[in-house]
Structure 1
Amino acid sequence: MSFSKFTAIAAASVVSASAVFADDHVDRTGWPESFTVGTASQGGTYFAYGSGWANLVAEELGLTGGGEVTGGPMQNMALVHTGEAQFGMTTMGPAMESLLGTNPIAPGLQMTNACAMFPMYQTPFSVTALSSSGITTIADIPAGAKIGFGPAGSTSDTYFPRMMDELGVDYERRNGGWSDLGGQLQDGLLDVIAFAAGVPVPAVSQLEVQTDVNIIEFTEEEQAKIMAAFPVSEFNIAADTYSTLESDARSVSMWNFSIANCDLPESFVYAVVDTVMSDNERMVNIHRAARSTLPENWDKNKVLDWHPGAARWFIENAGATIPENMIR
């Protein structure tokens, strides 16, 4: 089965190989001469982060590689599963849906040939309303409220409506880009915006400059209820994230993982993981979200089978105790 792909390719590069993986002592049997990393739309964290580590790996391993513009986590699972992209990036929710065969790109197809490679960072779920609305808690959201959930088919649009359903919120669903929804909130066309995106969300930061907003946190009970129902983790939005916040705001987040086609050679994936995980400073220079791209976060994957090359790296270098039945 073939899947349509966006055609833009970002910053492909061919450069000299590193001293570690370009010499004759490394078995390169079966390695591809080039690779692509499925990211998301331009201007987002996925595109910047994914293109960055693709270029880093290409440079270190002496290959041609780059980030590919895609529709995001759901499409990345499909592209990597079929081998149309060697690597990709996904959140745990879309990964779980893809394994169960409920990925909307190919309903019924269990995308089991996409394996976990390394932890990336967390995507927090955050809720914002204008102060003038009087909405300060989730319970304050009035019946029939118009809520903007981000781009159609995004992680935010896939999971935040379900979370609102779980919490008993009655709403009208709206979709759009981050900046567009922020403008609609300010113009009174929306009551609430509910984003799953790296913080600070630029649209929310911009709103703070122009008007008074409320960053709405979950109660402990709401947080626990959402964590029990969805593949998310406890998260606090730090007080210094937004000028509006006076203290940390209770939230939840979904982990992002890089993924690899499970059929790629073990030595190749091991080398890719080593390149990305062995020097966090280089990754943070690519995108500050990479502050969470740390070996100790290997255990945040509770959904996908590990690629054997990735599993070996984390077992050897991070003391990981990955069960054998979680390694492909």
Structure 2
Amino acid sequence: MKKIATGLALAGILVSGTALAQPDDWPRDLTVGTASQGGVYFVYGGGMASFLTDELDVNVSGEVTGGPVQNVTLVQTGEHDIGLVTLGPAFEAWTGQSELAPGLEHKDIRALFPMYETPFHGITLRSSDINSVSDLDGRRVSVGPAGGTPGTYWPRILETLGVDATISYAGAADSASQLQDGLVDAFVFAAGLPTAAFSQLAAEADVITFGFTPEEHEQVLEAFPEVSAFTIPADTYSVQEEDQASVAMWNYAIAHQDMPESLAYEITKTVLENNERMMQIHAAAAATLAENWDNNSFLPFHPGAVRYYEEIGIEIPEDLRG
């Protein structure tokens, strides 16, 4: 597979004395596709890359991308080794319906491990009189970067709810700045909790977060079978006093089927057996647990990942073995 060397990879991180000896068929460098700065993928993927560098004697680097829609194609084409994806865009790519590569069935991607759920929610200035998704009608709304999960699904959600908003696309950090500067009226997103850009806005500006009303919630769940009901707990952000209704998608780390089996095994094992270390990277990794493997219903697991799951007593169904 093609390898992309970044400055982060070249800078390197000193390999610990306990790192694994590198087998001959392993690449010397690995690239992890993350997303825009200010989102959870950027933090989770970059931190995981540093952790794997320490443990596996391979230079692993996180790379900023447009998010899951782009990540799945970068793995399919061999340009990235690992991609962070939500299952909605991954399923569309698997079936040849990717917005980035329409008609190309991404049949070479394989699941490694579950990451966490991505809930959909929004943030706005308290003075905006926006309290729900329906209130976005006629407003200027940033939906995150094009090619990411929020940039793909929020326009569809708004259309389903009959909300006619002026949509713009930008990374999480840029969207937050645009909200503060009055360039947009609201910023809706989808990422693991807490979302860094939302937390920063809550600390710097007079904002509120919002989810879905009961009526909106019901409509979205009916229209999008790839999402499930989710509650954003009170106090997730300093400005959030009550639970908020949301919907969410599961995130998985994926690799190309040609990744050496032993490498896929060690990556999966290292991440899943060090949950405390992963949670030091981001709190959303609390759900990065082997027991959550079954939230994936269509994407075959890499043989190396299957070997690890079976070692710990998890039987992967035949139709999910890559």
Give CA deviations for 1:291-325 in whole Å, capped at 9, x if unaligned.
Answer: 221111112222421112112222332x4343201
Matches within 5 A, 1:117-196: 117-142=112-137, 144-186=138-180, 188-196=182-190
2:21 is matched with 22
* 8 Å CA contact 1:6, 1:69 repeated in 2: no
**Aligned with 1:314: secondary structure?**
helix
Q: Which has the larger radius of gyration?
A: 1
- Equivalent of 1:222, from 209, 216, 220? 216
Matches within 5 A, 1:248-327: 248-317=243-312, 319-327=313-321
- What amino acid sits opposite 2:91 in the alignment? M
1:232 is matched with 227
- What amino acid sits opposite 2:193 in the alignment? V
Task: From the superposition, tell whether residues 183 and 57 of structure 1 become closer, same or farther in structure 2 (CA, over 3 Å).
Answer: closer
Task: From the superposition, tell whether residues 51 and 181 of structure 1 become closer, same or farther in structure 2 (CA, over 3 Å).
Answer: closer
1:86 is matched with 81
**Aligned with 1:162: secondary structure?**
helix
Task: From the superposition, tell whether residues 119 and 17 of structure 1 become closer, same or farther in structure 2 (CA, over 3 Å).
Answer: farther
**Aligned with 1:240: secondary structure?**
coil
Q: Distance in 1 between matches of 2:183 and 2:58?
A: 49
- What amino acid sits opposite 1:160 in the alignment? W
1:61 is matched with 56
* 8 Å CA contact 2:33, 2:80 repeated in 1: yes
* 8 Å CA contact 1:12, 1:67 repeated in 2: no
Q: Distance in 1 between matches of 2:5 and 2:152?
A: 21
Task: From the superposition, tell whether residues 201 and 276 of structure 1 become closer, same or farther in structure 2 (CA, over 3 Å).
Answer: closer
Give CA deviations for 1:14-33 in whole Å, capped at 9, x if unaligned.
Answer: 625647x539xxxx463334
* 8 Å CA contact 2:34, 2:46 repeated in 1: yes
Task: From the superposition, tell whether residues 219 and 206 of structure 1 become closer, same or farther in structure 2 (CA, over 3 Å).
Answer: same
Superposed CA RMSD in Å reads 2.9
TM-score normalised over the length of structure 2? 0.86
**Aligned with 2:235: secondary structure?**
helix
Does 1:12 find its partner at 2:6? Answer: no
Residue range with higher mean Cα deviation, 276-285 or 185-194: 185-194
Segments of 4+ in structure 1 off by > 6 A?
none
Q: CA deviation at 1:43?
A: 4.9
Q: Distance in 2 between matches of 1:223 and 1:48?
A: 29
Aligned length: 320
The percent of aligned pairs where both chains have the same amino acid is 49
